[in-house]
Amino acid sequence: MEYEPGQQIGPYEIMDRLGTGGMSNVYRARDPEHDRDVVLKFPHEEIMGDVATHERFSREVKIGKLLHHPNIQQLYELATFRGSEYLVLEYVPGESMRRFLRGRSHAPADFALARTMGLQIARALGYAHEHHVAHRDLKPENIIVTPDGQAKVMDFGIAFLKGARRVTWGPLSSQVGTPDYMAPEQIQGGRGDARTDIYALGMILYEQVAGHLPYSGDNALAVMNQHVTAKPPPLHQFRRDVPPALEETIMKAIRRKPEDRWPTMATLIDALEHPESVDVDSLRREREQEPGDLPHVGRLAGRFQMPSSPATLAVLCAVVLLIVLVVLASHFAAPARH
Amino acid sequence: MCHLEHAGISDQGRVRYRNEDFIAHEVPTDSEVRRRQGCLFVVADGVGGSGAGNVASREATEALVRAYYESRRPPERALRDAFARANMHVYDLGLRGGKFRMETTMVALALVGDCAFIAHVGDSRLYRVRHAGHAEPLTRDHSEVAELVRMQILTPENARHHPRRHIITRSVGSDPVLRVAQRVEPLQAGDAFVLCTDGLWEPVSDPEIASAVAGNSAEEACRRLTELGLARQSNDNLSVQVIKVLQVNKENAMATANNLSWWRRLFVKAGQRPDEDS
């Protein structure tokens, strides 16, 4: 279902379409009663049609309405129009953090800015975690930066709706999101919890400081494989002047195992707020003690490996030599019979 | 020529506005065509709700069936060429259609003589039920989660709830160069084949598919599978075709064998399954 500007949806008047995502159509609308702009989000019908998904959605919405935080896009209500449900949300002017970061990509990373932005997002998430809500799909696309520099986190708790629509890899496909901020436990099929958000926030901060993410690859599979198996290069490799406390704070947030990360958002906030309290040396030691890249768990693992020991190599060489000799011998021996 | 019993159902589900799946079968009446090209069964699942998935699946399937029977080449090659033709057809439609992408998954089964020729792209599946209680998948999904399972990062159980489970890595119409996965299987009397879209295999487990097929007519099996699938997950289209091989005509066995390349024959005779991506 698509709506035109000027159309009346319940008490709201559609102003313009903000976008069509993988899970919903999004519009800006006018709320004359409260004299404010709002965002209307219409989840696609085929997603909401599933009973279990719908139940979970209603539950998340109920919790979402309880969240009031300056760094979280406010959810006002869940309303119905002609039988289809839609969300009414706070309208936040500004640009997505993705665009915000891109716009600054030429300037050297501003550590103070990374810290304040990180703190705002961390406080929003910490507040949500206290209410037992994890975001599970945190990425710069889901964060709006307002003109006065406030970060607002969107799409709380409804990340699970994303899996419900099929998309394909391909040159024309733009709907396949990146797994760049997915925690290893999520890639491995876990539901994810507060520590999953800590990982995602760590990735966002890493990107902000280093200018790029720790992992990259030709396709999503290569990236996901690295999240699960690789050890991220420390930030000072890219930025020599990164404050050690900030570096270790970020590196601890993106450890592979959830139990190695900051245990709660509150501890991460504390580390960002009071860098002098961060025990840089022990964190670095802990990080460096972590085993390096895990063995590649690719398709070829354990099957077509080159022989590693000298003994096997020697035997192989001998066999090849023998074959060559036999072939040569028969080649030269044959004419002699005539 | 073999004796078959077959049935198919494509259901819209209870929520979707339209059915983006498409199923087709072709059982030639001309005995010469049937001897040479056999019977063809196709299931396709159009991708992308905002695009024209229903058009993509229908156009691809029809182009495939047409191209397959127009071909004068051996079945395996004919099937591959037909996939390429269907792909170009849908790709062109997609380019002409502007903002609507045209993509579809497709799985095809050609039964010729004593061989089953299988080709697929995407995450629609083909199962064979040969032994009671066991539905053996003869296709490997071209999807991100299937790839993660293969890389041993993900377990099959966790794949069912994975947030990226609906991302497929290949589809008909997304790229002018299509890689089709193909294989050849020897036929046995009593074999049953199930072609289906994710609307069926997601909510219904492999053993359940096997037990619905065993002992029931093809029509009854389709009905049971559809009911089971819709009862558990009603928000997707669901399509299934069941083909039961009643009798394999050995007289034509040689005809089929001649259609295979020599190394293929080696594999088929040895009972092995070459699974080739071309």
User: Least CB-CB distance to A163: which of B50, B147, B165?
Assistant: B165
The C-alpha atoms of residue B191 and residue B246 are separated, in whole angstroms, by: 8
CA torsion sign for A164, A168, A174, A176 is: positive
A205-225 average pLDDT score: 90
Across the interface, whether the CB atoms of A47 and B151 are under 8 A apart is answered: no
DSSP code, position A301: T
Percent of chain A exceeding pLDDT 70 equals 85
Residue B267 has pLDDT above 80, yes or no: no
In this structure, of A33-37, A46-50, A203-207, B223-227, the range with the lowest mean pLDDT score is A46-50
Does a structural domain hold residue B266? no
* Interface list for chain B against chain A, based on CB atoms closer than 8 Å: 13-17, 47-50, 94, 101, 103, 122, 144, 147-148, 150-155, 157-159, 161-171, 174-175, 198, 233-236
Q: Domain segments of chain A: what residues?
A: 8-90, 95-163+177-289
Query: Rounded to an integer, what distance in angstroms lies between the CA atom of residue B195 and that of residue B106?
Result: 10
Are B162 and A190 inside 8 Å of each other by CB?
A: no
Q: Are A49 and B234 in contact (CB under 8 A)?
A: yes
CB of B231 closer than 8 Å to CB of B223:
no
- Rounded alpha-carbon distances, angstroms, from residue B60 to B68, B121, B197: 12, 12, 15
Q: Which CATH architecture has domain A95-163+177-289?
A: Orthogonal Bundle (1.10)
- Is B258 part of a structural domain of the chain? no
3-class DSSP state for residue A78?
Answer: strand
- Other C-beta atoms closer than 10 Å to the C-beta of A170 total 18
| Residues A66, A80 contacting (CB under 8 angstroms) | no
CA-CA distance, B30 to A170, in Å (whole number)?
40
Of residues A37, A137, A193, A241, which has the active-site annotation? A137
Higher pLDDT, A64 or B152: B152
Helix (H) or strand (E) holding A273: helix A265-273
State the pTM of this model: 0.80
- What tokens appear for B55 in the block? 């058009």
- Dist CA A3 CA B149 (whole Å): 41
Helix (H) or strand (E) holding A199: helix A194-210
Residue B214 lies in a domain: yes
User: Domain total for chain B?
Assistant: 1
**3-class secondary-structure state, position A152:** strand
Task: Tell whether A186 lies on the interface with B, counting CB pairs under 8 A.
Answer: yes
Is A137 considered catalytic here?
Answer: yes
Q: Are A167 and B166 in contact (CB under 8 A)?
A: yes
Q: Which residues of A touch B101 (CB under 8 A)?
A: 172-173
Q: DSSP secondary structure string, chain B?
A: -EEEEEEEEEE--SS-SS--EEEEEE--SSHHHHHHH-EEEEEEEE--TTTTHHHHHHHHHHHHHHHHHH--S-HHHHHHHHHHHHHHHHHHHHHHTTT----EEEEEEEEETTEEEEEEESS-EEEEE-STT-EEE-S---BHHHHHHHTTSS-HHHHTT-TTTTEES--BTSSSS---EEEEEE--TT-EEEEE-HHHHTTS-HHHHHHHHTTS-HHHHHHHHHHHHHHH--SS-EEEEEEEEEEE-GGGHHHHHHHS-HHHHHHHHTT---EEE-
Distance from the Cα of A151 to chain B's closest Cα (Å) equals 25
Architecture of domain A8-90: 2-Layer Sandwich (3.30)
Instruction: Specify if B268 maps to a domain.
Output: no
Using a pLDDT cut of 90, give the percent of chain B over it.
60
How far is C-alpha B160 from the geometric centre of its chain's CA atoms?
A: 20
Summarised one tens digit per residue, pLDDT across range A121-174 is 999 999 999 988 888 889 998 899 999 989 999 887 665 565 555 666 654 445
Query: Could you tell me the residue range of the domain that residue B145 belongs to?
Result: 2-249
Residue B278: the pLDDT is: 44
Model-level ipTM above the cut of 0.85: no
Nearest Cα to Cα of residue A186 among A235, A138, A144: A138
Q: Are B129 and B221 in contact (CB under 8 A)?
A: no
Let me know: does A195 contact A261? Beta carbons within 8 Å. Answer: yes
Q: Could A221 and B165 be called an inter-chain contact, meaning their C-beta atoms sit closer than 8 Å?
A: no
Residue A20 with chain B: CB contacts under 8 Å? 50
Most A-contacting residue of B148, B158, B170 (CB-CB within 10 A), to test interface = B148
Cβ-Cβ contacts under 8 Å between A and B: the total is: 117
**Nearest in space to B64 (alpha carbons), one of B126, B96, B106, B31:** B106
Q: Which residues contact B75 (CB under 8 A, 6 or more apart)?
A: B37, B38, B110, B112, B115, B117, B256, B259
pLDDT mean across residues, chain A: 84
Place B260 in a pLDDT band, splitting at 50, 70 and 90: low
The helix (run of H) or strand (run of E) holding residue A288 is helix A280-289
In a domain? residue B231? yes
Q: Measured between CA atoms, how close is B68 to chain A, in angstroms?
A: 26
Measured in angstroms, the CA of A110 and the nearest CA of chain B are apart by 33
Residues linked to residue B125 through DSSP beta bridges, in sequence order: B196
pLDDT number for residue A136: 86
pLDDT tops 50 at residue B272: no
216-245 in chain A: CB under 8 A from chain B = 220-221, 224-225, 228
- B71-124 per-position pLDDT tens digit: 999 999 999 999 999 999 999 988 887 656 788 999 999 999 999 999 999 999
A115-127 tens-digit pLDDT: 999 999 999 999 9
Hey, how many other C-beta atoms are within 10 angstroms of the C-beta on A35? 7
Phi, psi of A256 (to 5 degrees): -65, -45
**Cα A80 off chain centre by:** 31
Give the mean model confidence (pLDDT) for residues A256-279: 94
pLDDT of amino acid A335: 56
Residues B231 and B169 sit within 8 Å (Cβ to Cβ): no
Rounded Cα distance between B84 and B98, Å, is 22
Residue of B149, B110, B104, B114 whose CA lies nearest to B126: B110
Given a cut of 50, whether residue B141 has pLDDT beyond it is: yes
pLDDT band at A177 (very low <50, low <70, confident <90, very high): low
Task: Please state, in angstroms and as integers, the Cα–Cα distance from residue A2 to each residue in A50, A58, A79, A291, following that order.
Answer: 21, 22, 17, 52
Question: A335 vs B235, which has greater pLDDT?
Answer: B235
Residue A31: enclosing H or E segment and its boundaries? Answer: strand A24-31
**Residue A243 pLDDT exceeds 50:** yes
Any domain includes B263: no
Which of B48, B147, B159 comes nearest A189 by C-beta? B159
Q: Is B109 inside any structural domain? A: yes
Specify if B30 maps to a domain: yes
Question: How far is Cα A320 from Cα A85, in angstroms, rounded to an integer?
Answer: 71
Tell me the chain B residues in contact with residue A168 when contact means C-beta distances shorter than 8 Å: 47-48, 103, 122, 167-171, 174
The CATH number of the domain holding residue B29 is 3.60.40.10
The per-residue b/e assignment along A194-219, b for 16 or more CB within 10 angstroms, e otherwise, is bbbbbbbbbbbbbbbbbbebbbeeee
Beta carbons within 10 angstroms of residue B1's beta carbon: 18
Residue percentage of chain A with pLDDT more than 90: 48
Answer for the pair A127, A79: CB distance below 8 angstroms, yes or no. Answer: no
